[in-house]
Every structure is written in C-alpha cells, then in structure tokens.
Structure 1
Amino acid sequence: MRTAQLATALTGLLASAAAQSSTEPGYDAYPNYIPSTIPSNETLSFGQHYAVLNLDLINGLVAPIANTTEGEAFISCTSKWINAVAALTPKPLTFFSRIYFSNSHNPEISDSTPFKNVGGSLGTASSNATMIYPAFHVNETAGDVVIQKTRYYAGAGNGLEEILRAQRIDTVVLSGIRTSGVIISTAYRLFDLDYKVYVIANNTIETPSDKPAINTNILEGILPKVPINVITIEQAMAALNASGPAIY
C-alpha cells in the first residue's frame, strides 16, 4: 500500500514538473514542445552587429497555410517579431527575401534545374504570389533590405553576403517558411561562413502545415547538432532588450 502511494505521488510530481516546463517562458514553441538550445534562465543577447532575416514570407507560400491552426500561430509570432524589431531605435539590419524571376521566361532556371519543381511557377517581381504577405510589414525607408532569390539559400544570386560583410555583421536571426527549405539551407551556409546563427522556432513552419514532425525533427534534432542555436519567440523578444544598440 505504501509503495503504491509513493508511486502515485511521484507520478503526480513528474506530471506537474512537465506541465510547468512546457509553459515556461523561453520554452514554448507551438505546436510541439521544442527545447531551446539556450537555457531559459540564461540571458541571451545578439550583441550589436546582428541582422534579422525574414525569409520567403511571400503570398504564394504563406497564403496556403494562413487559415490553418499552425499557420495562424506562425503568422502571429512572426509578425509580432517583425514589429518588435521595427520598433527598435536604432533598428538592426533587416532583410526580407522574395522568390521571383527576372521576366516571364524565368531565365534563372531551366527545365533541368531542380529548383524549378519547387518555385518555378511563382512568377516575376510584379506577380502577387511573389510579394510579401500583408501581415508582415516591410519598411525600406527605414533601411529594410528586400532581396530577390531563385534558390533555397537566402543569399543565392543576390547581395546578402556582401551586405553582411560590409555592415560587419557577426550574428543572424532567422525566421521564415519553410523549415526544410530556406531555413535549413540558409542556416547551414551562414554557419559555414562563421556567423553565429539563431533560428526562432515559433517563426518557422513546414508545408503542408499539418506535418509538424518534419519541423520538429529539424529544430530539435538536426540544427542543434550542427550546432546552430534554436530559440523561442519569448527568448528572441527578450534578447532584443538585452542586445544593442544595433550598429547599422
């Protein structure tokens, strides 16, 4: 009887601890509990030479998931982050990437280009599908940089790396769609270029959005092994207050 009571009590304590940890600020990443690579009790700072990369937040990719539970959470967290960054004075270097082609002939790809099967139907700069989704606000007057890309990697065929070098950036913070595309390819490439890379877990999503296992496996298993830092929206927002002032 005593053993059974102890077992019941222990089970209750473990369940309580699990419930507390899953809602602890710094460890909330919808739809699954994704532990951050940075302990929640550790003060996180991006320093002063950091850049914010908002990747492929275009109508053609965001609109199909916008009315799903996962998509709504992704849009809410990502727009909250973009707005918080925009409110900083001085504002850090901020990029938005768009996938589009130079003209209707899509000269950047051919029939044999693997990326054609992924983004070949999106269109040119004037196509609605290639424009930034309305929930995400771009302010080029305030210094936001919009870059064209025609591959997964955010720096493919544009001035991303040149700008990062010119502005003496040493840290990048990534958000975007989709995790198995632009996020993982950009995180790997910039890590290899010796940047400190942070990926905001809440601000990533896989498509279709009802396939959270892929997203979780990348954020919880693959990226931390590189190692690339995976953080949550709570940690990212707190880091804005602990960082800077940004130099740009």
Structure 2
Amino acid sequence: MASAYPNFGPLYAILHLDWGSALIGAVQETPEEQALITNYTRWNNAVHQKIPRPVTIFTTLAFSQGQPEVKTNTPFANLIAPFGAFETGTPEVQIDSRFTLDEKDLVFPKKRWSATTGNALEHTLKSQKINTVVIVSDLEPPFGRLFDLDYRIYVIADNVLDLPVHQNAEFKKVIIDSLLPKMNLDVISLEEALQALEQSA
C-alpha cells in the first residue's frame, strides 16, 4: 500500500529561514509565538536526529556595522528598522538559542528579505545536487526565486508566521491557501513533514 505522506527523496535540503533572535523575539509572548517555537523545536530536533542528516541550512539577516549594504529611506530599510540594526556578530543576528545548532548545520547571513541574496545558498544547493527543498520560515520565504530555479518546494504551513502577528491569519489565507497552490508548490502540515522526513532517504 502506498504511503499517504510525501517523500522528499534522497536529494533534499532543509531551509530554516529567518531564525535569528531579533525576528523570533519580535513575536515573543504571543500565542502565535508559543505555537511557533513548539513547532520549530519539534521539527528541528527531528531533523537533527535524522540519519543521514540532510543538508540543513539556517539563514539570518546580517549587515556590516552601520548597515552599509542598506540604502536609507527605502522600503526595505524602513521595513527592518523597527527590529534592530542586524549587525554581524551581535546577539540579535545569531540563531535563536532555543533551537539546536551543531557543526553539521550551515548558517548563511543574508542581505535582503530573500534567503538567496548575498550568500552561497544557491551555490550550496547546486553543488550538493539538491532537487527538493523543505522551507521552514517565520516570514515570507523566497518561493519565487527557488521556484524559478526549478526546485521542488515543500512548505510546512504550521511553521509559517508573518509579521506583524495580528496580520498572520490573513497572510496565510492569501499565501498558503491561494498563491502557493497556484504555483504548484506542496503545502504540508507539520505532521506530514515529520512523516516525510522519517520516510525519506
């Protein structure tokens, strides 16, 4: 009997996007944050227990001192300003300490909203012959860029949270329920993702 759960196959990567302390901290002490932390922790622990470990990548927004990479008074600069300076080496850009991280994990700083901007993420996926990515994110992930590069994309719907938190339900309705299915991306639950992880090579 065929499994009812997806299978990521042998050439997949896990993308934990925007798990830096500043952005995770932006939703602290909300019911949504508590659920998110629980889901992230459960998923991340399962990934770290997987043998063999899939390519596992974390991204975090990070700039040089003074943010020379960011033009002032632009939509992007104004968007990130309330959350901090995101300077390399500061606690706010480190992967949040509640999540397991070890020497096998790859941590890529990024310079824009997209996880593929200003780092070696695309090169790493290509060099490892990855054809499938599993996206775990608290913010809008780079669906478009990865879609254009012909990856099969799985999005764990339970692990997506947009800011500000009070707009999250509407965000998920538009992105998760409408946009992603139109792009033929696979939207799965956390339970489906855990089963798929267990069954995948």
TM-score (normalised: structure 2): 0.92
TM-superposed deviation, 1:79: 1.2
**Which segment drifts farther, 226-235 or 121-130?**
121-130
Distance 2:72 2:85 in 1: 15
Match of 2:144 among 158, 177, 188: 188
Larger radius of gyration: 1
Give 1:114 shift: 3.1
Task: Note the alpha carbon deviations across 1:148-202, whole angstroms, 9 max, x for none.
Answer: 10101101010001000000000000011213xxx1xx11110110000011001
Tell me what 2:6 maps to. 44
Residue pair 2:138, 2:160 contacting (<8 A) in 1 also = yes
| Structure 1 runs not aligned, ≥5 long | 1-40
Correspondence 1:45-194 to 2 at 5 A: 45-102=7-64, 104-111=65-72, 113-120=74-81, 121-139=84-102, 141=103, 143-179=104-140, 183=141, 186-194=142-150
Q: Could you say which residue in structure 2 is the equivalent of 1:37? A: none
1:122/1:130 contact within 8 Å kept = no
1:221 corresponds to 2:183:
no
Gaps of 5+ in 2: none
In the TM superposition, structure 1's runs of 4+ consecutive aligned residues that sit over 4 Å from their partners are none
Q: Residue 112 of structure 1: CA displacement? A: 5.1
Residue 71 of structure 1: how far off its partner (Å): 1.1
Q: Secondary structure at the match of 2:75?
A: coil
- Superposed displacement of residue 113, structure 1: 4.2
When structure 1 is superposed on structure 2, of 84-93 and 112-121 the one drifting more is 112-121
How many residue pairs get aligned? The number is: 196
1: distance between equivalents of 2:119 and 2:26? 27
Q: TM-score, normalising length from structure 1? A: 0.75
**Deviation of residue 131 (structure 1)?**
1.5
Counterpart-to-counterpart distance in 1, 2:21 and 2:87:
13
RMSD between aligned residues: 1.4
Q: Secondary structure at the match of 1:234?
A: helix
Q: Which residue pairs with 1:36 in the alignment?
A: none
* Matching residue of 2:191: 234
1:70-96: CA deviation from partner (whole Å, max 9, x where unpaired)? 111111111110110000111000000
Q: Is the 8 A contact 1:155 1:161 kept in 2?
A: yes
